[in-house]
Chains A and B, each alone.
Chain A
Amino acid sequence: MHISFLIHNAYGIGGTIRTTYNLASTLAEHHDVEVVSVFRHRDEPVLAPSGKVRLRHLVDLRKGGPGYEGDDPEYERPAAVFPAAEGRYKQYSALTDRRIADHLRGLECDVVVGTRPGLNVHIAQQARRGVARVGQEHLTLSTHSGPLKLALRTHYPRLDAVTTVTEADARTYRKLMRLPGVRIEAVPNSVPAPAVAPADASGKWVIAAGRLAPAKRYDVLVKSFAEVVAVRPDWRLRIYGAGAEKAKLRALIDKLGLYNHVFLMGPANPLEAEWVKGSVGAVTSSLESFGMTIVEAMRCGLPVVSTDCPHGPREIIADGTDGLLVPVGKPGAIAAGLLKLIEDDELRRRMGRAALENSARFDPAEIAGRYERLFADLTGRGALRGSLHRTRGALLSGALKTKDASRSALRRVRAA
């Protein structure tokens, strides 16, 4: 198959970029794969796909470069196709509308894959006939704004498939969106096997990693660790990552007198070398679209104590087998979970081994295999059936457009 990914900017750093490269690189072992980046702001990508993946851009934003297009008059005019309710709307323009449309109408692939809502809308409207249209949801439907949900309801019926990263989000899509004939499938993100040997459960360290952002609730983790230290002063906590909450967390650590036990390590890349220095992983988020760090820690042989927040953790962790799920926002519950693993060396070792085994299902080969089967199903559909679905999708899409203009529809979707 010839597979073409469409991504906002493949030259930066981010979860979507990383996971797209993982998937594209693995698919490229057996298929012809390209990644098309709407924007390019630097010469070399920070992350990189394997050499078999072709990478190109549609709009050149390299300042001072010969191809710089940021001064194009079309670039100043607002986008009309890219939905205004999308978070990245301001970066899109009449120029991106035209370049993306030209690219999609000229596609010579079997499958085109969009990696964010606005690009999925482009694909729904503009991908050449005969190309299977797949829209990926890397966040969740419920975290999108009402107006964006409306836009997606209008355009997604013209897609062939929507993929989510959790079953929970796939259920939300099935429940709230009217997408007859559109395959809605949960395919988790992939995490490659680490290049270091797994942890051996001997290090007396708990490890957490992620942006120091409010949703990660590291304040709750620090508070819970005060309770851990009261029982086991020989165990300590490392939190990797940078972010706006750093000063607040520093103040909290000092206030609780935890400066000998809790350390803000700063950002680290790659993280796998850091996970293996510990024996227990901790995730205290109030919301995780997926829960990439849980899988990363498990692939390094760490059992993870995670809050049972929406959406990902409970689909990754088998509670009591390869990790523990605890209630959201409760330092006492997190401390109890951590102490359960800290106080029982054999349990920690056993769960670590189970985490290592169970997380193999997120290997890029497994995940790419699921995408491969989905793509094969979509392209294997008879041309007649495909076109019938499209016609139906187009009719329904038109009907919804009218209907969604009414206030009742707006309210209903917002209530979702």
Chain B
Amino acid sequence: MTSSPIPAGPADAGATVPEEFTIVSAPPRADCIADSAGGLTFDLDAPEGADASGHWSAALVLLRRGGNVVENPDDEVRLPLTPNGQGRLRAVLPSTVHLPEGRWDVHLGGGDAEPERLLPGLADLRSLVDRRPGPSTSPLAVRIPYTTKHGNLSLRSWQRAPHAEAGDLGIDAKGITVAGTLHRVEHPEAWLAGAVAEARSRRGAGPVRTAPVTATGPDFSFTFALAELGESWEGGPEVWDLWLRPADGSPDARVARLLDDVAEKGTVFVYPAQPFDAPYAPAQAGPFYTADNDLAIRVDERPPIR
């Protein structure tokens, strides 16, 4: 939405009741359109004082959260803002621009002034829904704009090669089954042919469980038996991260869900936990998406039946 929530009613000098006053310095809102290749286009109203002659030196400035631009120039990305031909300013972030994984806060910068945080406008992300990236071996670039809990505009970024995209999950007494698609390797079928799935525990010495992978073309599937994940469990939450490991010694692929418009998968893609009897005590196991949208399985205590 391009409209601002700031009231701009003119003061009525003759009125007996005080009127709203115009507020002049509302932070600008940036509308955003995503293309299916992973590129983003930002449009915003030219700020007050913008030079109409075209010598406007402003830029959209992306700052990596938790980064330090002085020590690491890669923590800042500047995108020039140019007139979009409809009276607004436009900045383009093509998928080819390197944007390391993380959260990027979007600012408006111009000249020597301190960059000003931008507010989200209308985000048309329909081309990210059910995204199917084409074949390539360069890292898969995923950027999803989102509104922070403070109401500001930020981006989530991922750069992955190879990438194992998780699709439908199955949860039953047999175990947890993951179906997905492998991206960004030269011969997905050959890569998957000798590959195994690995569940890597975050606990203690980090035990690893493996499961065989079945594949059709770039599509894969594997199942982890609950009994196997619960073998060494002794109470409390135990998280297992999921990976695909190829036979040829090339880099492993993290199993994650990245190819849609949902910036935070954990609250939307929610799955039930399956109860089972671990050797130590009754337990349950269920898949979930981490804060980085990577897929993991949590083995935990079974809540009492109410």
Contact = CB atoms under 8 A, between A and B. Distances in A.
B286 to A, nearest CB: 10
B18 interface: yes
A259 B272 contact: yes
Interface of B is mostly: loop
19 contacts: A44-B6, A45-B5, A48-B5, A48-B6, A48-B8, A51-B8, A51-B22, A56-B15, A195-B1, A195-B2, A195-B31, A199-B126, A204-B130, A259-B169, A264-B270, A273-B124, A277-B125, A277-B126, A277-B129
Contacts of B169: 259-260
A56 B270 CA distance: 45
Interface in A253-301: 254, 259-260, 263-266, 270, 272-273, 276-277
Contacts of A204: 130
Contact of A265 (B15, B23, B167, B268): B268
B168 interface: yes
Interface residues of A, number: 31
Interface in A40-93: 44-49, 51, 53-56
Contacts of A46: 5
B18 to A, nearest CB: 7
A263 B267 CA distance: 10
A252 B94 CA distance: 41
A265 B265 CA distance: 10
B17 interface: yes
B138 to A, nearest CB: 27
A259 B270 contact: yes
Interface string B148-187: 0000000000000000000111010000000000000000
Interface residues of B, number: 38
B180 to A, nearest CB: 12
A54 B20 contact: yes
Most buried by B among A45, A254, A259, A270: A259
A196 B125 CA distance: 10
Interface of A is mostly: loop
Interface in B1-50: 1-10, 12, 15, 17-20, 22-23, 31
Interface in A183-227: 195-197, 199, 203-205
Contacts of A265: 262, 268
Given A54-B9, A196-B122, A260-B169, A270 B1 contact: yes
Contact of B271 (A44, A48, A55, A259): A259
B126 A203 contact: yes
Contacts of A98: none
A45 B17 CA distance: 18
Contacts of B123: 273
A45 B270 contact: no
A197 B63 CA distance: 30
Contacts, number: 83
A-B complex: 6 closest residue pairs judged by Cβ atoms: A51-B8, A254-B272, A260-B168, A270-B1, A277-B126, A54-B9
A44 B9 CA distance: 12
Interface in A14-49: 44-49
Contacts of B268: 263-266
B10 to A, nearest CB: 7
A266 B3 contact: no
B5 A56 contact: no
A361 interface: no
Contact of A51 (B9, B129, B270, B271): B9
Contact of A55 (B4, B20, B261): B20
A264 B9 CA distance: 38
A45 B7 contact: yes
Contacts of A53: 9
Contact of A273 (B10, B17, B125, B269): B125
B170 to A, nearest CB: 8
A199 B169 CA distance: 29
A281 to B, nearest CB: 15
A169 B31 CA distance: 39
Given A44-B6, A250-B270, A259-B169, 4 more contacts: A55-B9, A197-B124, A259-B270, A277-B261
B9 A270 contact: no
A263 B270 CA distance: 8
Given A54-B12, A259-B169, A276 B126 contact: yes
Contact of A56 (B20, B168, B261): B20
Contacts of A254: 271-272
Contacts of B6: 44, 48
Nearest to A103: B17
A56 B122 contact: no
Contacts of A56: 15, 17-20
Nearest to B5: A48
A51 B12 CA distance: 13
B124 A44 contact: no
A54 B19 contact: yes
